Structure 1
Amino acid sequence: MAKRGKKYTAMREKVDRTRKYNFSEAVTEALGTTYTKFDESLDVAVRLGVNPRHADQMVRGAVVLPHGVGKTVRVLVFAKGEKEKEALDAGADYVGAEDLIEKIKGGWLDFDKAVATPDLMGAVGKIGKILGPRGLMPNAKAGSVTFDVNRAVQELKAGKIEFRVDKAGVVHAPMGKVSFGEEKILQNMAAFFDTLIRLKPTTSKGAYMQGISISTTMGPGVRIDPLEVKNLIRFATT
C-alpha cells in the first residue's frame, strides 16, 4: 500500500470517516482539507444501485453546471458548410471534417470536447478507437451529435459536463474549483444530482444512490448521506 504524506494524513484526521455529512457540511469539510498551492478541483463520486453490465441500466448523461468547472474548454466541431460557420460563430476552437480526422489519426488531440453533425458521424466513426477511450467521441445521448452546433458549443463552453457509470457502478464528475466557495459548488452539485435522479433506470430496484463521497484533488474523501440529495436540490431551487 502506498504511503501517504504527512500533510494528507493530517487533513484526513480532520474528517470524521464514520460519519455521513449533509452536503453543506461535507463541502465545508472538503474545502478545509486543501493544502496545496494550486486551485484544486472538487469531485464527486456516486455509487449507484445499478448493474452496468445490463444495457438498460447503463446510466449516462450530461448537465450544464451553473458555474462551470473552472477551466477553459477547447471545443472541436466536425461540420461542413453552413454548420462550419455556425460552429465558428458560436466560439468553437477547431472546426473541420476530413482534415481534422486525418490530423487526429496523426496523433493530434489538443482539444477537450468534440461535437459532430449527424451527417459526419460515419467518417468520425473511423477514429472512434482513438476518441472513445479518451472520452472525446461525440455522443447523441450527451447532445454532442447534433445539427444544433450553436447550442452544443455554447453549452460546452458554459460548463456542460458528461458522465457515465463505470464498471463498478460508480459515477465520477467534477463540481468546480476550491476557489468557487461553498455556495457555487453546492449549486453545481444540485444541478448534477437533479439530472442524475432523472436518469434512474426503470429496471433499477432498491436504493438508487447507495453512497456519495466528495474530495478535492489531493484531499481525503468526505462521505455524504444519500438521503440528503432532496434537500440539496430544494436548496438550489429556493
Structure 2
Amino acid sequence: LYTVSEAVELLPKLSKTKFDATAEVHIVLDIDPKQSDQNLRTSAALPAGSGKTVKVAVITSDKEADAAKKAGADNTDAAAILADIAKGKLDFDVLIASPDKMSELGRHAKVLGPKGLMPSPKSGTVTNNPAAMVEEIKKGRAEIKNDPSGIVHVAFGKLSFKAADLEANLRAVLGAVRTNKPAGVKGIYVKTIYITSSMSPSIKLDTTELQKSSKE
C-alpha cells in the first residue's frame, strides 16, 4: 500500500506512453447502488486544474447568459442549444441550467441522462449563478459519482503535472468523497482506492489516506 504522496511520485514512472496521459483515481465504495440514498454524486474543485479543455453550454436568462459568456462559457444561446439537443447534437462537455429552465430540459432527459449531461443540483450544474459555476469548471472541476457497480472513476490531472499538484488534486477528490458520504451508508464506506494512468499498472493506496485528506 502506498500513501498519496508516494503514489503520485511513482505514477509517472510507470507510464510507457509517449503522450501526456491522464491520471485517474478509482474508488471502490461499500454501497448498494440500487438504493437511491446510497449513491454518491458530488464534485471537487481541482486546485491545480484538470489539464484539459472543457466545453461548457449554459441555458439561462439573457442577463445571466451575458455574465456566463464573460466567465468563459462556450455557448449561451439557449434556443440553439435546445434545438441541437433535440437533434441529438451534444456539442458540450458540461451543461449548466438555471432552475427556471429545467422544465424545458425535462423532455430531453432520455438524451442527456444516459450521457451524464443532465444538469443536477447535486453537482452544482443547476444554479442561479451560472457564471460562478462556469468559472469553477473552466479552472478545473471533477465530477464525482459512482457507476452501477459502486465504483467512482475520476480524472485528477495529467502526468506532466508536478507531483505536488497531482497530490493536491487527488486529496481534493478524496476529501470530497469522504465529506459527502451518502445518507444511507453507515460506517467506513471506502473499500479500496487505486490510481492509474493510460495503459499503466494501478497503484493501491492506503485507505487511511482518505481520512487524512480532509484534514490536511
TM-score, normalising length from structure 1?
A: 0.86
- Give per-residue Cα distances to partners, 1:95-117, cap 9 Å, x unaligned: 12232111222232221111001
**Residue type at the aligned position of 1:93:** D
RMSD: 1.4
Task: Tell me the equivalent position of 1:17.
Answer: none
More displaced 10-residue stretch of structure 1: 196-205 or 175-184: 196-205
Question: Are the aligned partners of 2:45 and 2:136 in contact in 1 as well (CA < 8 Å)?
Answer: yes
Question: Are the aligned partners of 1:59 and 1:165 in contact in 2 as well (CA < 8 Å)?
Answer: yes
SS of the equivalent of 1:95 reads coil
Please tell me whether residue 50 in structure 1 is matched to residue 15 in structure 2.
no
For the residues of structure 1 that align with 2:62 and 2:183, how far apart are their CA atoms? Answer: 41
For the residues of structure 2 that align with 1:217 and 1:49, how far apart are their CA atoms? Answer: 26
For the residues of structure 2 that align with 1:72 and 1:66, how far apart are their CA atoms? Answer: 16
For the residues of structure 2 that align with 1:38 and 1:160, how far apart are their CA atoms? Answer: 22
Structure 2 residue runs of 5 or longer lacking an equivalent are: none
Residue 62 of structure 1 and its aligned partner are, at CA, apart by 0.9
**Residue type at the aligned position of 1:189:** L
For the residues of structure 1 that align with 2:29 and 2:189, how far apart are their CA atoms? Answer: 5
Q: 2:182 aligns with which of 189, 201, 221?
A: 201
Please tell me whether residue 192 in structure 1 is matched to residue 189 in structure 2.
no
For the residues of structure 1 that align with 2:102 and 2:42, how far apart are their CA atoms? Answer: 19
**Residue type at the aligned position of 1:150:** A
Question: Are the aligned partners of 1:49 and 1:206 in contact in 2 as well (CA < 8 Å)?
Answer: no
Task: Tell me the equivalent position of 2:157.
Answer: 176
In structure 2, relative to structure 1, the CA distance for the partners of 1:121 and 1:202 (3 Å cut) is: closer
Task: Tell me the equivalent position of 1:166.
Answer: 147
Please tell me whether residue 220 in structure 1 is matched to residue 165 in structure 2.
no
Question: Are the aligned partners of 2:48 and 2:165 in contact in 1 as well (CA < 8 Å)?
Answer: yes
- Give per-residue Cα distances to partners, 1:58-90, cap 9 Å, x unaligned: 111011110121011111001222112121121
- Give per-residue Cα distances to partners, 1:141-195, cap 9 Å, x unaligned: 1111111011111111111121111121111101100000211010001111111
Structure 1 residue runs of 5 or longer lacking an equivalent are: 1-19
Task: Tell me the equivalent position of 2:103.
Answer: 122
Percentage of matched positions with identical amino acids: 37
SS of the equivalent of 1:82 reads helix
SS of the equivalent of 1:140 reads coil
Residue 230 of structure 1 and its aligned partner are, at CA, apart by 3.1
More displaced 10-residue stretch of structure 1: 96-105 or 185-194: 96-105
Name whichever structure is richer in helix by fraction: 1
Structure number with larger C-alpha Rg: 1
Task: Tell me the equivalent position of 2:68.
Answer: 87
May I ask how many residue pairs the two structures share in their alignment? Answer: 216
In structure 2, relative to structure 1, the CA distance for the partners of 1:231 and 1:80 (3 Å cut) is: closer
TM-score, normalising length from structure 2?
A: 0.94
Superposed, 1:25-40 pairs within 5 Å as 25-40=6-21
For the residues of structure 1 that align with 2:52 and 2:138, how far apart are their CA atoms? Answer: 9
